[in-house]
């Protein structure tokens, strides 16, 4: 992409109402525009990141055996009356009436609807287990939408629902998602720690939040330090036994504020005790027949007896992650994207648009990057060098290639690693090799 043809409305001023780094940088880098409280337009740069995160989440769900579908955003109140959640959910639910005075709502989550889908089609234990998911916009009329996309009112969620005959099988599904989440967050370039959590309006008796540790986190969390550095499971057989992955993590103390047990925490060696602030980027629940019982979602077991299907639900805040990743990955100059989710792989800065040799070299390098699949952003604007440098730092692409008249005379370009700040003078060929290797 050439910057001159792109839509990157970068702001010079720091927006006054943005109190956390991710919100400030997302506004300044032209990633989002607020439309009303907690509701945002995803501008092209922000949209790229959102889609990259979504795709990684999708790939890891598919690996775990979950099946993608798509349910609507607008739901009928009737389904929610069946489970008693229409009244229980309270003012966070956006309620709508259509022209026939039928009560509808903008879905804050989908347990009720997916249970209806399930009971409409599945009759036998032979069709189990099943894990179904979608990636869809949700609406929650939060009392205090804040921190930009991290606590929005309209937000993108990946929500998976598992269906099993027995609690024992349902726990296997829970472990699949637990494992898939560890891999997902590692691929996104962040450390998200699974912590014992409260179930809130979703319900159930087994639940974990996946939490990024960051100063701007909304809640206090407590855990054993070793959990933070644990390697992700990687390539595992999702049909095999995954309980050791779950046990290995949950044997170490980790809990959110609501579940915190000060006495248990005190048993951890002092130097391993970690209390910090955290951002919840994922939340998984096992709730058995909480929805299947009232909605009569049953399957025949091997004796021909109807059984309530045992369920769990598993959420990832896809849009929240854009902010969460920035909270974990930034410095005083701007965002420092992990390679896997960066909106472009490399930024090319042409320091002198009037210099013919620079134009030829930059265009040539840009085209080679396109061919190599590096997804380059070429700053071909007439702006001063200083403006180009700070804009490129702000938007946080992993690598910058600086092409200027002086270097070119010696046959070199400058490669800057955004994360380390390290600069190298290399021939264009060597620079290209470095990039190709970095993204291999």
> Does 280 engage in binding with ligand 5CA (CB under 6 A)?
yes
From 377, 345, 357, 373, select the one nearest 428 (Cα to Cα): 357
How far apart are the two ends of the chain, measured CA to CA in Å?
21
From 6, 11, 1, select the one nearest 391 (Cα to Cα): 11
- Residue 182 CB contacts under 8 Å (≥ 6 apart), including other chains: 192, 194, 232, 233, 245, 249
> Does 320 engage in binding with ligand 5CA (CB under 6 A)?
yes
Both tokens assigned to 186: 């590692």
| Other CB atoms within 10 Å distance of the CB of residue 88 | 11
Q: Using CB under 6 A, which of 25, 106, 125, 155 touches ligand 5CA?
A: 155
**Segment interacting with ligand 5CA, rule: CB under 6 A, options 74-82, 116-124, 152-160, 229-237:** 152-160
In the 8-state DSSP scheme, what is residue 37? Answer: T
Q: Using CB under 6 A, which of 142, 301, 355, 375 touches ligand 5CA?
A: 142
> Does 157 engage in binding with ligand 5CA (CB under 6 A)?
yes
> Does 134 engage in binding with ligand 5CA (CB under 6 A)?
no
Rounded least distance, CB 142 to ligand 5CA, Å = 5
Task: State the Cα–Cα distance between residues 210 and 196, nearest whole angstrom.
Answer: 9
Task: State the Cα–Cα distance between residues 219 and 22, nearest whole angstrom.
Answer: 17
Q: Using CB under 6 A, which of 30, 46, 107, 152 touches ligand 5CA?
A: 152
* CB-CB contact of 137 with 154 (8 Å): yes
**Segment interacting with ligand 5CA, rule: CB under 6 A, options 47-55, 118-126, 264-272, 279-287:** 279-287
> Does 281 engage in binding with ligand 5CA (CB under 6 A)?
yes
Rounded least distance, CB 25 to ligand 5CA, Å = 17
Rounded least distance, CB 120 to ligand 5CA, Å = 20
Rounded least distance, CB 289 to ligand 5CA, Å = 16
In the 8-state DSSP scheme, what is residue 251? Answer: T
User: Binding marks (x or -) toward ligand 5CA, 201..240, rule CB under 6 A?
Assistant: -x--------------------------------------
Could you tell me if residue 263 is left (phi over 0), alpha (psi between -120 and 50 degrees) or otherwise beta?
A: alpha
What residues make contact with ligand 5CA under the rule CB under 6 A?
109, 111, 140, 142, 151-152, 155, 157, 159, 202, 280-283, 285, 313-315, 317, 319-320
């Amino acid at each position: 992409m050439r910057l001159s043809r792109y839509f990157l409305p970068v702001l010079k001023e720091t927006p006054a109402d943005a109190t956390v780094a991710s919100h400030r940088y997302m506004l300044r880098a032209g990633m989002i525009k607020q439309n009303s409280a907690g509701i945002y337009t995803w501008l092209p740069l922000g949209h790229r990141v959102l889609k990259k995160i979504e795709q990684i989440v999708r790939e890891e769900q598919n690996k775990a055996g979950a099946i993608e579908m798509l349910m609507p955003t607008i739901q009928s109140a009737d389904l929610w009356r069946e489970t008693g959640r229409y009244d229980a959910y309270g003012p966070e639910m956006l309620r709508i009436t259509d022209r026939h005075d039928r009560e509808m709502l903008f879905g804050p989550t989908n347990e009720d609807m997916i249970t209806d889908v399930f009971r409409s089609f599945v009759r036998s234990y032979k069709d189990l287990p099943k894990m179904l998911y979608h990636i869809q916009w949700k609406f929650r009329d939060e009392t205090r939408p804040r921190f930009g996309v991290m606590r929005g009112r309209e937000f993108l969620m990946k929500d998976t629902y598992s269906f099993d005959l027995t609690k024992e099988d349902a726990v296997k599904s829970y472990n699949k998602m637990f494992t898939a989440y560890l891999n997902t967050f590692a691929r996104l370039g962040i450390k998200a720690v699974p912590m014992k959590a409260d179930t809130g309006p979703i319900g159930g008796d087994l639940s974990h939040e996946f939490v990024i540790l960051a100063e701007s986190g909304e809640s206090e969390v407590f855990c054993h330090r070793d959990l933070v550095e644990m390697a992700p499971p990687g390539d595992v057989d999702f049909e095999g036994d995954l309980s050791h992955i779950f046990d290995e993590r949950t044997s170490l103390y980790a809990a959110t504020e609501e579940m915190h047990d000060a006495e248990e925490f005190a048993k951890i060696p002092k130097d391993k005790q970690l209390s910090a602030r955290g951002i919840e980027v994922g939340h998984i629940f096992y709730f058995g027949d909480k929805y299947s019982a009232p909605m009569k979602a049953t399957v025949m077991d091997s004796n021909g007896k109807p059984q309530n299907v045992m369920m769990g639900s598993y959420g990832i805040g896809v849009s929240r992650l854009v902010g969460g990743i920035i909270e974990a990955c930034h410095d005083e100059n701007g965002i420092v994207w992990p390679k896997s989710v960066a909106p472009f792989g490399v930024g090319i800065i042409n320091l002198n648009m009037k210099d013919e040799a620079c134009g030829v070299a930059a265009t040539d390098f840009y085209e080679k990057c396109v061919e190599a699949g590096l997804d380059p952003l070429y700053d071909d604007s007439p702006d001063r060098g200083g403006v180009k440098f700070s804009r490129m730092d702000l938007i946080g692409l992993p690598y910058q290639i600086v092409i200027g008249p002086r270097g070119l005379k010696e046959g070199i370009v400058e490669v800057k690693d955004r994360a380390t700040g390290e600069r190298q003078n290399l021939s264009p060929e060597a620079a290209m090799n470095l990039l190709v290797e970095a993204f291999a």
